[in-house]
């Protein structure tokens, strides 16, 4: 986030507090979605889809009052489902938050305290492990390196796709001691890999985890979203929302 000159006089501490305020709902848009819950379809055939969007601010979603039209697909899903007005996360960073979502435990139990420096404990039981024991095919397609398989968040997934090497956003870097060939994938790339699997396995009972990283810095929305909004962050949110719609 950019801090205006007037805010700089308040010192670095004030800026950090402002960023933390909006980092807390980093995993705000996480949904456990039961597909085809019609009474006419046997419960045994219900699929589970968990969508997590990294660093997504609630005040950029129409369902939380944003008037800019950045999230029509998420807004529709919210209107048709259960909408929470108060959301809290166990940690303001990706890896600990997602570990908490998948294990229903706090960082002190699942052992992931920060991005890149901790690994999910082998003693943890994940949602993927539970569903796999109940006959679900378990697949994950992630958009950001903080959820790379090396951090052991892949426990319980038959396939955990965290290959960033071919991404259009490929950037070699060193990140918290890790050599990273590619750090993120666009929502379109995540969906492409997910759709390939879904087309081949759509008749199986499955648990699908989709992680979008687009609203994360640096804010570089593709055309036409780079021109549609004054803020490039808003463009990233709208671009991500388009691909949420395609997934649904």
Q: Are 23 and 58 in contact (CB under 8 A)?
A: no
* Residue 140: other Cβ atoms inside 10 A: 25
Q: Which two tokens stand for residue 189?
A: 């790339």
- Alpha carbon distance 88, 104 (integer Å): 13
**DSSP-derived 3-state class of residue 81:** coil
Range among 29-38, 44-53, 55-64 with highest mean pLDDT value: 55-64
Q: What is the mean pLDDT of residues 37-41?
A: 47
Give the pTM.
Answer: 0.81
Question: 128, 155 in Cβ contact below 8 A?
Answer: yes
165 compared with 159, residue with greater pLDDT: 159
Stretch 126-143: mean pLDDT: 95
Residue 104 contacts by C-beta under 8 Å, 6 or more apart in sequence? 127
Does pLDDT of 215 surpass 90?
Answer: yes
Tokens encoding 106: 């706090």
> Residue 206: is its pLDDT beyond 90?
yes
Query: What residue spans of 24-159 are helical by DSSP H?
Result: 72-80, 94-103, 107-110, 127-133
Question: What is the mean pLDDT of the segment spanning 154-170?
Answer: 83
Residue 46's CB: how many other CB atoms inside 10 A? Answer: 15
Residue with structure tokens 């492990």?
129
Q: Contact 222/187 with Cβ under 8 angstroms?
A: no
Q: Please tell me which residue, 181 or 44, carries the higher pLDDT value.
A: 181
Under the phi-then-psi rule, with left for phi > 0, alpha for psi from -120 to 50, and beta for the rest, what region is 96?
alpha
Q: pLDDT-based confidence at 8, cuts 50/70/90?
A: very low
Residue 41 has pLDDT above 80, yes or no: no
Mean pLDDT of 126-144: 95
- Which runs of E-coded beta strand occur in the chain? 30-35, 47-53, 137-141, 159-161, 173-175, 178-180, 206-212
- Please tell me the least confidently modeled range out of 13-27, 38-52, 177-191, 214-228: 13-27
Q: 77: exposed, middle or buried (C-beta count within 10 Å: 0-12, 13-18, 19+)?
A: buried
Task: Classify residue 222 by its DSSP letter.
Answer: P
* Helices 232-247/72-80 angle, 10° precision: 50
Give the pLDDT confidence score for residue 14 in this predicted structure: 39
The Cα–Cα gap between 132 and 238 comes to 33
Residue 180: pLDDT band (50, 70, 90) is: low
């Amino acid at each position: 986030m950019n801090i205006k000159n007037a805010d700089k006089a308040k010192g670095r501490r004030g800026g950090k507090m402002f960023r933390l305020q909006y980092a807390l709902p980093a995993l705000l848009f996480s949904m456990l979605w039961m597909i085809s819950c019609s009474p006419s379809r046997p419960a045994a055939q219900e699929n589970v889809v968990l969508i997590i969007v990294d660093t997504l601010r609630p005040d950029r979603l129409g369902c939380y009052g944003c008037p800019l039209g950045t999230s029509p697909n998420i807004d529709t899903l919210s209107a048709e489902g259960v909408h929470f007005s108060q959301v809290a996360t166990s940690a303001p960073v990706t890896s600990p938050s997602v570990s908490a979502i998948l294990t229903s435990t706090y960082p002190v139990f699942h052992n992931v305290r920060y991005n890149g420096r901790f690994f999910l404990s082998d003693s943890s039981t994940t949602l993927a492990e539970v569903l796999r024991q109940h006959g679900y095919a378990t697949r994950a397609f992630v958009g950001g390196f903080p959820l790379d398989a090396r951090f052991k968040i892949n426990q319980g997934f038959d396939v955990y796709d965290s290959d960033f090497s071919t991404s259009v956003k490929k950037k070699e870097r060193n990140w918290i001691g890790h050599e990273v060939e590619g750090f993120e994938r666009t929502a379109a790339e995540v969906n492409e890999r997910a759709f390939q699997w879904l087309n081949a396995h759509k008749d199986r009972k499955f648990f699908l985890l989709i992680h979008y990283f687009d609203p994360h810095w640096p804010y570089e929305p593709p055309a036409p979203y780079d021109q549609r909004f004054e803020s490039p962050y808003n463009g990233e949110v709208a671009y991500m929302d388009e691909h949420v719609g395609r997934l649904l």
